Amino acid sequence: MKVTIKHIAELAGVSIATVSKVINHKDEKITHQTRDRVLEVIKEQGYIPNRVASSMVTKRTKTLGLMIPDITNPFFPELARGVEDGANEMGYTLILCNSDNDLQKEESYLEMLQEKMVDGIIFTASSRRTTMSSAFLKLTIPVVSVDREIEGLKLEGKITVDNEKGAFEAVCYLLEKGYRKIYHISGPLLSKTAKDRYAGFIRAHKEKGIMPIEDHLLEGNYTSTWGYDYTKKLIEEHVDFDSLFCGNDLIALGAYKALHEKNIRIPEDIGIIGFDDIYMAEIVSPGLTTVRQPSYSMGYKAAEMMLDRIKNKDGIQKEWVLESKLIIRGSTK
């Protein structure tokens, strides 16, 4: 038999209300003797409170949902880790949901999270989502979005990085180093993230007095395969380019592979800049110059923002735009 608060109460010779108060540290009005006796029985019996019962009455599960596209994508573990640490610090626990950028999966998870009555949802929306379904609009649980925008949904908070600026700085750096024929291998331009990075790419050219060429934009998705294939194609078609600004590090790493195979040197023949600064960027040779996103911090801040809101310390800043940072390594001159 599972030991409950009732058993503790009996053994300690007090009422269950008293036990409950002791457990929840609402014991200002309990004498030391009583409290110690209760505590002792709890310990002796190895009592573990049943949170589902308490959630039933408090309407709090001390659980957050984390919805991301895919934990297998190296950008997300850091972020997830940040969220988890932030949540854990406040005694919260995390339910992990991989949406695979699949709108249907996203909605079915959303429903599950509601059924399980999580106290909040940290959300990195599918890059495919352009419109809100009714499932979203009905949502009564607070949502904080991270990394990506979710238009049309009422949010409790929003955490992004300044993608335009990050891209701008990266491309400026390339231009300053004398690179002139920069191709941008981008992620899907449906998403605001990719659009902003492209905007930065354009602005850098303009500010440096160079005419950006539209053909230099190659739209794809955020995978190394895509980076590899497109770079290979550029080489084989003898396209005239001297550098690559990649939509993320995975794309850049794919480009590395293609260039290595063709014995093209980085950075002497071709310069490369990525985006994200995943852990591999440092390990690879030459080290990848990239725009670092503070992904751990993004996750951590998101959790923090969520918990602030839950605890109703309201008035806290609702939108954070974090700074990215250009990390210069060996893949650029």
The binding site for DNA (CB under 7 A) comprises 2, 4-6, 13-18, 20-21, 23-24, 26, 29-31, 33-34, 47, 49-50, 53-54, 56-58
Maximum pairwise Cα distance, the chain = 86
Give the position of tokens 């053994």. 11
72 binds a copy of itself (CB under 8 A): yes
Task: Work out the angle between the directed axes of helices 5-12 and 32-45 (0-180°, nearest 10).
Answer: 130
The Cα–Cα gap between 128 and 130 comes to 6
Whole-angstrom CA distances from 147 to 57, 213, 297 are: 34, 28, 11
Among 39, 71, 153, 189, binds a copy of itself (CB under 8 A): 71
Closest approach, Cβ 29 to DNA, in A, equals 4
Among 81, 128, 195, 232, binds a copy of itself (CB under 8 A): 81
50 binds a copy of itself (CB under 8 A): yes
Pick between residue 63 and residue 101 the one whose CB is nearest to a copy of itself: 63
20 binds a copy of itself (CB under 8 A): no
* Spacing of C-alpha 130 from chain mean position: 19
Closest approach, Cβ 48 to DNA, in A, equals 7
94 binds a copy of itself (CB under 8 A): yes
Give the position of tokens 């297998």. 72
User: Which of the ranges 16-24, 62-70, 163-171, 269-277 carries the binding residues for a copy of itself, by CB under 8 A?
Assistant: 62-70
The Cα–Cα gap between 85 and 63 comes to 13
Pick between residue 158 and residue 301 the one whose CB is nearest to a copy of itself: 301
| Cβ-Cβ contacts under 8 Å for 134 (sequence gap 6 or more) | none
- Select from 205, 232, 236, 235 the least CA-distant residue to 220: 232
**DSSP bridge pairs for 185:** 218, 246
Site string for a copy of itself, 162-201 (x = CB under 8 A): ----------------------------------------
Q: Show contacts with a copy of itself in window 273-312 (CB under 8 A).
A: 279-280, 283-286
The Cα–Cα gap between 309 and 211 comes to 46
Angle at 189 between CA 126 and CA 166, to 5 degrees: 95
Give contact residues for a copy of itself (rule: CB under 8 A): 46, 48-53, 55-56, 61, 63, 66, 70-72, 74, 76-78, 80-81, 84-85, 93-98, 111-112, 114-117, 138, 224, 228, 253-254, 256-257, 260-261, 279-280, 283-286
